[in-house]
């Protein structure tokens, strides 16, 4: 019988789109199903040609079902009665019910749908239970998991390919011995997708295999997925006593007390003092959530984007919105627009009618919702003893369901030290006097009364444990008003000014100093000078906790593709130098 590749080459009917390497792989993967009475579900069928080809390949199949969200797919017609098409979102109860009314067990499921990370993961969680024992679940076009426009990225910890890599851990779950169940393990990592897979179902994952852009998950009875007994054969054991091999064949060492294996379950005292009068805001309201939502990389010129996708809760802006802000302020833009962190805002340098230069920053939220970041920037205008831009004017207006706000501020007297967060040549050459001025500014800020935290104590504790294990010393309680936005692309020089005050809040003592230290760690002399300037904070017991918090903060940003991954290893080395319990 012709191979799948041959059938594709000979096909003349409805259009089908597959990469050549997939077809070669499927001839091997489908070998055991080719002559069987199987049921197949393909999610995402476009013009429907693949179902015709599968009908010719799986000649004894009982059901060949395609599901697609495109309404025009309802126009597809097939002579083969085994082929059925369901029009709808595969990740909906309506489409699921329609599919299951035709067949509720499948030997092969192929996801070639939207390629969005959330859709891939949630669709797997919805349909893997309906894969028959011995069946397979295939995800195609996983190259999209590396692309921001599909919610992915190489270092994104919650991409679809990151999820399926985690299933490799699940396959080896019998060796964890740390008190964590497979379901809890996945829920902790991918809770944002509402993933809730049953432990018994996860134990039926027999193998997870990858090739370029494809992942294949094979399902078998749980008992067939275990390592099984150790077989020792032969008589001669001159090098290693075979009785020792047999004795070590069944036990799994306890991992509940191992830092890199133990779950984060211990409650440790790590909270701001009650005297601060704090009200801990819920996670949805925390301004600086360490694990950001999917974001795109910052463009060189924000004008290149007609509509930018910002962080959750912020409106998409365009160059025309910024120009309207200029009109309201009676100023003219004289430089390209620059996207702010997570695309929540956009800014540009402007000039008024008498030639006075200033900087404007625009952001928008749905009508009825406050802009907490703009509010913090305005509140920071009352701070004294800290070199920072001064707010000249603040205007708000509504348009098309969006509440817009623009801040006009003084221009910084010098450029930022570096174009990126971490130190390069410019930062390595800053003077001791400059470092001393920066330390003085941070100490002045530390004395300010503040009534909010940059992230909840539980969240900080969680990310510290996730990155460094549970044997870190977090028993000290001392929080101080902190800048939080501390990095080299936010500080000017040689004339010092601290830019961007959208997230300032209480943080563990030494947090700002530790952030700058971490972003400078590839220059030993610079790191040494910063340590000396902040020695009181960094060597104190509270400062140890602050350093762990700062280093974990950056490591989480690296996972979200917001900081360069080359900093990961140097920061881990910094943390290793800190004392443990």
Which among 220, 222, 149, 161 is positioned nearest to 190, based on CA atoms?
A: 161
* Run of H or E including 571: helix 568-576
Helix (H, G, I), strand (E, B) or coil at 197: coil
pLDDT of res. 172:
94
Which among 581, 502, 511 is positioned nearest to 552, based on CA atoms?
A: 511
pLDDT of res. 284:
32
> CA-to-CA distance for 157 and 171, rounded, in angstroms?
19
Residues 6+ apart with CB under 8 A from 102: 63, 65, 84, 86
pLDDT of res. 528:
94
At the top level of CATH, the class of 414-576 is alpha beta
Domain ranges of the chain: 4-225, 302-371+388-409, 414-576
CB atoms within 10 A of CB 44: 22
Structural contact between residues 350 and 359, judged by C-beta atoms closer than 8 angstroms: yes
Which among 192, 129, 131, 199 is positioned nearest to 163, based on CA atoms?
A: 192
Which among 143, 140, 139 is positioned nearest to 153, based on CA atoms?
A: 143
| 388 phi, psi to nearest 5 deg | -150, 160
Structural contact between residues 25 and 8, judged by C-beta atoms closer than 8 angstroms: no
Residues 6+ apart with CB under 8 A from 443: none
pLDDT of res. 48:
96
Q: What is the pTM of this model?
A: 0.50
pLDDT of res. 295:
28
> CA-to-CA distance for 343 and 299, rounded, in angstroms?
10
pLDDT in tens, the chain (581 residues): 689 999 999 999 999 999 999 999 999 999 999 999 999 999 999 999 999 999 999 999 999 999 999 999 999 999 999 999 999 999 999 999 999 999 999 999 999 999 999 899 999 999 999 999 999 999 999 999 998 888 888 877 778 999 999 999 999 999 988 777 888 788 766 766 777 788 999 999 999 999 999 999 999 999 999 888 888 888 887 787 767 666 555 567 777 555 445 544 332 333 343 333 333 333 333 223 322 322 222 333 333 322 333 444 555 666 778 888 899 999 999 888 877 655 677 888 999 888 889 999 988 888 777 777 788 888 888 888 899 999 999 998 887 778 888 999 999 888 899 888 889 888 989 999 999 999 999 999 999 998 888 888 888 888 898 888 888 877 667 899 999 999 999 999 999 999 989 889 999 999 999 999 999 988 899 999 999 999 999 998 889 999 999 999 999 988 888 888 888 889 999 998 888 76
pLDDT of res. 270:
36
pLDDT of res. 293:
26
Give the CATH fold of the 4-225 domain.
Rossmann fold (3.40.50)
Say if residue 244 is exposed, middle or buried (CB neighbours under 10 Å; 0-12, 13-18, 19+). Answer: exposed
> CA-to-CA distance for 513 and 532, rounded, in angstroms?
11
pLDDT of res. 20:
93
User: What's 172's DSSP letter?
Assistant: T
Which among 411, 409, 413, 412 is positioned nearest to 329, based on CA atoms?
A: 409
């Amino acid at each position: 019988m012709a191979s799948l590749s041959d059938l594709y080459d000979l096909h003349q009917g409805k259009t089908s789109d597959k990469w050549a390497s997939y077809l070669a792989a499927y001839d091997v993967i489908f070998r055991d199903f080719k002559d069987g009475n199987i049921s197949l579900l393909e999610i995402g069928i476009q013009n429907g040609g693949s179902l015709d080809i599968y009908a010719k390949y799986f000649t004894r199949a009982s059901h060949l079902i395609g599901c697609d969200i495109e309404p025009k797919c309802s126009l597809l017609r097939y002579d083969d009665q085994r082929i059925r098409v369901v029009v709808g979102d595969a990740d909906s109860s309506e489409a699921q019910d329609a599919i299951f009314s035709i067949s509720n067990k499948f030997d092969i499921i192929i996801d070639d749908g939207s390629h969005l990370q959330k859709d891939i993961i949630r669709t797997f969680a919805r349909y893997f239970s309906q894969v028959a024992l011995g069946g397979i679940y295939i995800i195609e076009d996983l190259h999209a998991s590396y692309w921001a426009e599909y919610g992915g990225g190489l270092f994104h910890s919650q991409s679809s390919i990151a999820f399926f890599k985690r299933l490799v851990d699940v396959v080896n779950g019998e060796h964890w011995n740390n008190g964590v169940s497979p379901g809890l393990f996945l829920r902790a990592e991918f809770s944002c997708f509402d993933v809730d897979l049953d432990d018994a179902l996860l134990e039926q994952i027999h193998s997870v295999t990858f090739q370029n852009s494809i992942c294949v998950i094979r399902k078998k009875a749980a008992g067939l997925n275990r390592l099984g007994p150790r077989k020792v054969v032969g008589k001669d054991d001159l090098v290693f006593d075979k009785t020792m091999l047999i004795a070590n064949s069944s036990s799994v060492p306890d991992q509940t007390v191992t830092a890199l294996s133990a779950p984060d379950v211990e409650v440790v005292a790590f909270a701001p003092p009650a005297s601060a009068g704090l009200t801990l805001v819920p996670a949805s309201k925390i301004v600086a959530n360490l694990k950001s939502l999917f974001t795109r990389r910052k463009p060189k010129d924000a004008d290149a984007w007609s509509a930018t996708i910002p962080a959750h809760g912020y409106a998409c802006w365009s160059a025309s919105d910024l120009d309207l802000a200029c009109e309201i302020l009676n100023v003219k833009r004289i430089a390209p627009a620059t996207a702010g962190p997570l695309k929540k805002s956009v800014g540009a340098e402007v000039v008024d009618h008498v030639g006075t230069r200033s900087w404007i920053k625009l952001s928008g939220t749905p009508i009825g919702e406050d802009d907490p970041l703009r509010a913090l920037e305005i509140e920071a205008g009352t701070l004294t003893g800290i070199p920072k831009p001064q707010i000249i004017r603040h205007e708000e207006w509504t348009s098309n369901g969006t509440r817009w706000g623009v801040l006009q501020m003084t221009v910084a007297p010098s450029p930022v030290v570096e174009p990126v967060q971490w130190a390069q040549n410019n930062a390595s050459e800053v003077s001791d006097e400059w470092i001393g001025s920066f330390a003085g500014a941070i100490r002045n800020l530390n004395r300010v009364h503040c009534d909010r935290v940059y992230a909840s104590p539980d969240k900080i504790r969680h990310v510290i444990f996730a990155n460094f294990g549970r044997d870190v010393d977090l028993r000290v309680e001392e929080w101080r008003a902190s800048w939080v936005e501390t990095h080299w692309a936010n500080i000017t020089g040689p004339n010092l000014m601290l830019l961007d005050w959208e997230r300032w809040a209480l943080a563990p003592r030494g947090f700002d100093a530790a952030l700058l230290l971490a972003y400078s760690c590839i220059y030993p002399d610079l790191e040494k000078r910063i340590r000396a300037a902040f020695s009181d904070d960094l060597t104190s017991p509270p400062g140890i906790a602050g350093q762990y918090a700062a280093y974990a903060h950056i490591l989480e940003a690296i996972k979200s593709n917001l900081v360069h991954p080359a900093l990961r290893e140097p920061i881990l080395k910094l943390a290793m130098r800190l004392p443990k319990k």
